[in-house]
Structure 1
């Protein structure tokens, strides 16, 4: 049976990814802070919990992220708070970097495997025409760079592995509850779309940034 690992499995998108992957025939291992004590902002926690896994996993999906931790996204530069920005970066960029550092040994040495990391279109510098949301935008741009670098490094030893940053669309979760102005999809719809993308990516696309329909997003 194919094996999948979902990190952030207790969140809206993460839980839906677990369910969707199971319907597609995967045996799924889910990790989360609430279920397993995995704190992606704590390097020792990441090393301990990820180090206890054996693998190999055909699919690994990183579904961790925060919009603003304890506040709201900034609308102007004067609202940027250093401590708040650091907390957002800790979850959205540094955490995924520490997770990706543990991922390579969990992938098969030969044959196709895919790692998807949850990002967001607002992390695209080329697509930014509105400004604002400085911490969230910058942290997602940072994780995109981390994913791109990880794809290069992992690909040196595992040429059939695919590592990609993925934008799920605006998903109706607690994460987006305060932003009613966007068309939203359900977590299950988002998970189905993301799994389609994961299954359709090729090794030539590793290191890329894609939306829920598999379309490439500019950096």
Structure 2
């Protein structure tokens, strides 16, 4: 039985919900009658049209919050707003991630290392999650089973790195894994019913992966819907002892 089935009113938060996997989670959770309330963050309204339309059609269940997750003050303000409406969360999925942008591309060699780009990778892919863990702690201090999940990537596994390259993305995801592993230890003391995990979604057909899909076999390129279903299955099947672990989309544990 899923931990969600044990709870009367399930409150969730999806961070980075304007598109891709985050938006997919919102759509999936809206279809689930067990979910009472969904909070969803976006950074820019102009790129969050579909999410905002969903919120307009589901005013009682879906609440959108504008948050730049590189700004701690905005994270704190959004969570304080959530705390005025509910006193506990049961599921957090942080889907925010940076792989490429207008002036940022994964580095193929040391010659391409740029300090400013590295800082941006870490701000988005690593630091944001640990700031969420910091400010969300009070909402996970309850006696019901809960999950704090961050979307990581297998490429952030140090033990699995056999190809090199992609310095900033790899290192920032490895840092994310360490932040969450460390947060899991503290959460075990203050929020013992909360599982803190990182999840590898597989290669998903989103804007993040699109420039790099040419060498991905069709059977290994997942739709957003498939990815979300698989990750929710992993989340719902977590067992005692799984907090602080790094899971792939199929439920297998990945090496650090």
Using structure 2 for the length normalisation, give the TM-score: 0.82
Counterpart selection for 1:93 from 113, 126, 143: 126
Which digits, 9 at most, give the CA deviation of each residue in 1:2-44, with x for residues without a partner? Answer: 2211111112000001111222331311112125330111111
**Does the 8 A contact of 1:58 with 1:114 survive in 2?**
yes
Give the superposed CA RMSD.
1.2
- Cα distance between partner residues in 1 of 2:90 and 2:198: 17
Match of residue 31 from structure 1: 41
Higher relative contact order (CA 8 A, sep 6+): 1
- Cα distance between partner residues in 2 of 1:11 and 1:208: 26
Which digits, 9 at most, give the CA deviation of each residue in 1:73-108, with x for residues without a partner? Answer: 001111111111111111001111111111211125
Partner-residue secondary structure (3-state), 1:5: strand
Match of residue 40 from structure 1: 69
Match of residue 7 from structure 1: 15
Match of residue 78 from structure 2: 49
Structure 1: 5+ residue stretches without partners: none
Measured after TM superposition, the shift of residue 111 of structure 1 is 2.0
- Cα distance between partner residues in 2 of 1:108 and 1:15: 27
Counterpart selection for 2:191 from 137, 155, 158: 158
Counterpart selection for 2:30 from 22, 25, 28: 22
**Does the 8 A contact of 1:58 with 1:108 survive in 2?**
no
**Does the 8 A contact of 2:100 with 2:208 survive in 1?**
no
Match of residue 188 from structure 1: 225
**Does the 8 A contact of 2:10 with 2:90 survive in 1?**
yes
Query: What is the number of residues matched between the two proteins?
Result: 219
Match of residue 94 from structure 2: 62
**Does the 8 A contact of 2:25 with 2:228 survive in 1?**
yes
Structure 2: 5+ residue stretches without partners: 1-8, 46-64
- Cα distance between partner residues in 2 of 1:60 and 1:162: 10
Which digits, 9 at most, give the CA deviation of each residue in 1:60-81, with x for residues without a partner? Answer: 1111110033321001111111
Match of residue 177 from structure 2: 144
- Cα distance between partner residues in 2 of 1:97 and 1:158: 15
**Does the 8 A contact of 2:148 with 2:196 survive in 1?**
yes
The farther-off stretch of 27-36 and 130-139 is: 27-36
**Does the 8 A contact of 1:194 with 1:212 survive in 2?**
yes
Using structure 1 for the length normalisation, give the TM-score: 0.96
Measured after TM superposition, the shift of residue 117 of structure 1 is 0.4
Bigger radius of gyration: 2
**Does the 8 A contact of 1:73 with 1:136 survive in 2?**
yes
- Cα distance between partner residues in 1 of 2:124 and 2:19: 14
